[in-house]
Structure 1
């Protein structure tokens, strides 16, 4: 669980996630322990439309489940996989009365076998989620030295913006129509 993980791809019904999936060229997570036994420090670094940014937040981790309870509720469950260098993450996010789900694939390396990709896509279908968007893992990843900003408050404002949800869903549809 600890260490650096490269994002391979994912599926989500979170408004704007499909547009973002088409604009992202790399994402990685660095998960480290803290002095508290069940609290982990997470740095997420991504390149979106050529620009790198980084978010920092702490999470609670117990029984193969990661939780964030404030300012919104996020629960990530780590699913079993045949790939020893992979993480398959099922995520539920609740903000107000809205609940969104995501399924994401991460790896310690920048490539996974076709069998792992096929299994992931089967999991996406089984959960009746939108088709997975896989990232081009040959793209340059962002460096480690980017100064992170506090991530949870920025994510929360996006989740609370109801009008933004509608616009994001329209953008998602347009991206899917023209990119695929």
Structure 2
């Protein structure tokens, strides 16, 4: 599935504050080496930031997100299931992704490539990704954990990484939530009859932005 379903995550404008020292940024945003074994299993979404259309409104509507990476018959291909709760109802999508040279990528229904950044949390995954819809490229930074919550210093480190990357500050999810069950039937984004084309995703995302601005802000 894909954490990709990309569309998931958040906020708006850079807050005015002191910038992180360049020396600390170098180590915080340098991609780490990671094997596919390092990403396998279930990860709970903790927070993130993105300039994807609809990311802020989606983050407001979603009350829980988890992703699960499993191996396939091909050594460099992983299956991903992403499940989220929106308006109290659970939805799930699944997709295959290529994992090579410490990075993960998919080509359909949109192009996405992600790498992993350092974190002081041994049970966490910091994901930095580029998502391409047509001629447009968007950036997301997300924090996942094996646990439902992480320590404040891990969150602070994650916020500093966003600052170093000069992207909007992350929004963290409310950790007091109920996870969606693992038996939620997923939609395969690679299926020929799947309505989740890149164009459809952008249209829905823009509608969500409009809804958010009118009724939430």
Query: TM-score of the superposition, structure 2-length normalised?
Result: 0.75
When residues 155 and 71 of structure 1 are mapped into structure 2, their CA distance, relative to the original with a 3 A threshold, is: closer
* Deviation of 1:83 (Å): 0.8
Q: Which has the larger radius of gyration?
A: 2
Q: Say which SS state the counterpart of residue 128 (structure 2) adopts.
A: strand
Once superposed, which parts of structure 1, at least 4 consecutive aligned residues long, lie more than 6 Å away? none
* Deviation of 1:150 (Å): 1.4
Match of 1:73 in 2: 111
* Deviation of 1:131 (Å): 2.3
* Deviation of 1:129 (Å): 1.5
Determine whether 1:43 maps to 2:43. Answer: no
Once the two structures are superposed, the pairs formed by residues 114-133 of structure 1 within 5 Å of their partners are: 114-133=152-171
Gaps of 5+ in 2: 1-38
Once the two structures are superposed, the pairs formed by residues 5-154 of structure 1 within 5 Å of their partners are: 5-151=43-189, 153=194, 154=196
Please provide the CA RMSD for this pair: 1.8
When residues 147 and 166 of structure 1 are mapped into structure 2, their CA distance, relative to the original with a 3 A threshold, is: closer
When residues 155 and 76 of structure 1 are mapped into structure 2, their CA distance, relative to the original with a 3 A threshold, is: farther
User: For residues 197 and 109 of structure 2, what CA distance do their matches in structure 1 show?
Assistant: 9
User: For residues 165 and 135 of structure 1, what CA distance do their matches in structure 2 show?
Assistant: 19
* Deviation of 1:167 (Å): 4.2
User: For residues 90 and 205 of structure 2, what CA distance do their matches in structure 1 show?
Assistant: 24
User: For residues 123 and 156 of structure 1, what CA distance do their matches in structure 2 show?
Assistant: 28
* Deviation of 1:173 (Å): 4.7
Q: Say which SS state the counterpart of residue 125 (structure 1) adopts.
A: helix
Gaps of 5+ in 1: none
When residues 146 and 166 of structure 1 are mapped into structure 2, their CA distance, relative to the original with a 3 A threshold, is: closer
Query: TM-score of the superposition, structure 1-length normalised?
Result: 0.89
Q: Say which SS state the counterpart of residue 57 (structure 2) adopts.
A: helix
